Amino acid sequence: MDLGTMFDFVVERTPDRLAIVDGDQRLTYAEWRRRVDRLANGLRARGVRPGDRVLIGLRTGEPHATLFLALQKLGAVAVPFNPRLKEGGVAYHIQDAEPCAVVFEPLTCETVLAATRGAPVPLRLFDGGRPPAGVVSLAQLVEDSPDTDPGVTVDDSALSVILYTSGTTGQPKGVPITHRTGLARMFTVMLAHGLRHGEGDRFVGAMPLYHTIGLHGVLLPSLYLNATYYAVRDFVPSSVLDLIEREHLTFLFASPTHFHMLLSQPDFTARDVRSVRDLVYAGAPMARELLQRVVAQMTANLTHIYGNTEAYVGFYFRNAGRKPGALRMGVQSRTRIVRLGGGPEDLVEPGREGELIADIRADEAFAGYWHKPQETARAVRDGWYFTGDVAYQDAEGDLFITGRVDDMIISGGENIHPAEVEDVLLAHPKVRDAAVVGLPHERWGQVVVACVARADASLDEAEVDRHCLQSRLLPDFKRPRQVFFIEEIPRNASGKVLRFQVREWLAQHTPTEA
């Protein structure tokens, strides 16, 4: 089944149920389908055909969700990008995806206009008021088009969306995802957390739609379950808490960063969040202290999910507070832990670290990067995707992600994962955020260096060092040898630290050798 057909099935089950809320706009499923069909017909009249890519520079909201569904009905391919990209980033996506159209809004107007100047993009569409000269109004296109079904037959093997990797190590790569793959990813989340149809759920749309979590982990499950999707265009913690209280929202899938922002609100304990009965987190490790606070102050019904843009994988652990960091194999994937630098048959014993790899025959996995055969050959070998994540399996068969192969710090011959040092740093009440990297050292090879965003301006390097020395979890050889204070830790949409940007920042603030 393709995603457009799935949407039609959903609408026919509950046409009068509230489907999507975006600010003051509230649409039932029947009203939303009419809007989707109008947009699909308008795009078709403007020349968008099956297989065409459409670049989307919109924040999470009804226009973005409607556009995605309209493209699914046409058999066209959605190519969303982070609306906060600069001109060079937008130009890269245009060059790589070769779209027939680009859709943008006031937030992205300046960068898109600059990036498309002279670029071969035939159709430009604007949402949010009067469009610039030569640009078509998205609202007008919808208003002028019929609400009949566009009548395009779409195979489930056709491309649905190209999602770009978060670029934690450099230039992002396009990950093509078919309709069948999108459905498999949606089912993975629902199975992992135990979501049920017809419960009257109300989903917080906090994760962006240019990310697989926001699209396949929140929006599509919300549709499939005939729930209501509440779009969050900009994640302002106080506003999200207002929304939860006012609308009695029930489901929140977010990154650890989002949870930290919510619980750090000065009035959080006075907020009524009792309606939230389902919590899921993914995208990055969650510090133990934060995990305990989420369980104590929101609900113990918290599921930890691990995945990636390429293979999704679907590891999960229900009631995550019982065993922090633990994961169990999902039902729609096949994985192995192999020796670092080894092949698919070089399995490691339980208790030993290795690289996590995933069988790409799974429906939820990609087949290779968009127009990047060399990158695909490096990442996919003998039918297995090498995730770059370091993991081990404990005696009970549970799996733990300990870091990234490329992020591992080797100091004096000892392997050090940044996440375990960051976990200790984040336990300090004056630390708002932290990132750890290795810097070159003549004697030790590398030394551990920490960048810390302060929650209290009185925090200094000596206090951080004392905290690390007193920690029962951190051996001395893993203790940061230098601490630098930074305004914000660079993270991607899923909350992962952008370590290459941390290293770039350090290169401007440190001497050549630590």
Helix axes 179-193, 3-13, angle to 10 degrees: 50
Model confidence over 47-72: pLDDT tens digits?
Answer: 999 999 999 999 999 999 999 999 99
d(CA 90, CA 126): 16
pLDDT confidence of 417, banded at 50, 70, 90?
confident
Claim to verify: residue 300 and residue 391 sit in the same structural domain: yes
Claim to verify: residue 390 and residue 416 sit in the same structural domain: no
Claim to verify: residue 333 and residue 471 sit in the same structural domain: no
pLDDT confidence of 13, banded at 50, 70, 90?
very high
d(CA 247, CA 20): 12
| 255 part of a folded domain | no
Per the prediction, the chain carries an average pLDDT of 93
Residue 166 pLDDT > 80, yes or no? no
Claim to verify: residue 31 and residue 80 sit in the same structural domain: yes
Mean pLDDT of 121-134: 94
Claim to verify: residue 22 and residue 135 sit in the same structural domain: yes
Quote the pLDDT of residue 514: 41
| 214 part of a folded domain | no
Quote the pLDDT of residue 513: 44
Check: CB of residue 181 under 8 Å from CB of residue 216. Answer: no
| 139 part of a folded domain | yes
| 290 part of a folded domain | yes
Claim to verify: residue 369 and residue 462 sit in the same structural domain: no
Please classify residue 270 by burial: count the beta carbons closer than 10 Å to its beta carbon, then call 0-12 exposed, 13-18 middle and 19+ buried.
exposed
User: Which residue, among 317, 390, 402, has the nearest Cα to 357 in the 3D structure?
Assistant: 390
Q: What percent of the chain has pLDDT over 90?
A: 81
Mean pLDDT of 447-453: 95
Least confident of 9-13, 226-230, 442-446, 476-480: 442-446
Least confident of 33-37, 83-87, 222-226, 431-435: 83-87
Q: Write down which residue in 137, 158, 177 finishes a domain.
A: 177
DSSP 277-302: -EEEE-SS---HHHHHHHHHHT-S-E
Q: Write down which residue in 177, 205, 226 finishes a domain.
A: 177
Q: CATH number for the domain including 346?
A: 2.30.38.10
Residue bearing the bigger pLDDT, 445 or 258: 258
DSSP 136-179: EEHHHHHHTS--S-------TTSEEEEEEP--TTSS--EEEEEH
Residue 505 pLDDT > 80, yes or no? yes
| 102 part of a folded domain | yes
Check: CB of residue 350 under 8 Å from CB of residue 422. Answer: no
Quote the pTM value.
0.86
Check: CB of residue 218 under 8 Å from CB of residue 190. Answer: no
SS3 of 463-486: the string is HHHHHHHHCCCCCHHHCCCEEEEC
The number of folded domains in the chain is: 3
Residue bearing the bigger pLDDT, 497 or 462: 462
Q: CATH number for the domain including 461?
A: 3.30.300.30
Q: Which amino acid is at 213?
A: I
Model confidence over 293-351: pLDDT tens digits?
Answer: 999 999 999 999 998 999 998 799 999 999 999 999 888 889 999 999 999 999 999 99
Residue 423 pLDDT > 50, yes or no? yes
pLDDT confidence of 441, banded at 50, 70, 90?
confident
Residue 482 pLDDT > 60, yes or no? yes
| 268 part of a folded domain | no
Claim to verify: residue 49 and residue 123 sit in the same structural domain: yes
Claim to verify: residue 155 and residue 86 sit in the same structural domain: yes
At 337 the three-state DSSP class reads: strand
Please classify residue 421 by burial: count the beta carbons closer than 10 Å to its beta carbon, then call 0-12 exposed, 13-18 middle and 19+ buried.
buried
Least confident of 87-96, 284-293, 342-351: 284-293
| 313 part of a folded domain | yes
Mean pLDDT of 254-264: 91
Claim to verify: residue 400 and residue 487 sit in the same structural domain: no
Residue 40 domain boundaries: 3-177
Q: Write down which residue in 404, 426, 456 finishes a domain.
A: 404
Claim to verify: residue 356 and residue 501 sit in the same structural domain: no
Claim to verify: residue 318 and residue 340 sit in the same structural domain: yes
| 210 part of a folded domain | no
Claim to verify: residue 379 and residue 492 sit in the same structural domain: no
Q: What percent of the chain has pLDDT over 70?
A: 98
Model confidence over 201-223: pLDDT tens digits?
Answer: 999 999 999 999 999 999 999 99
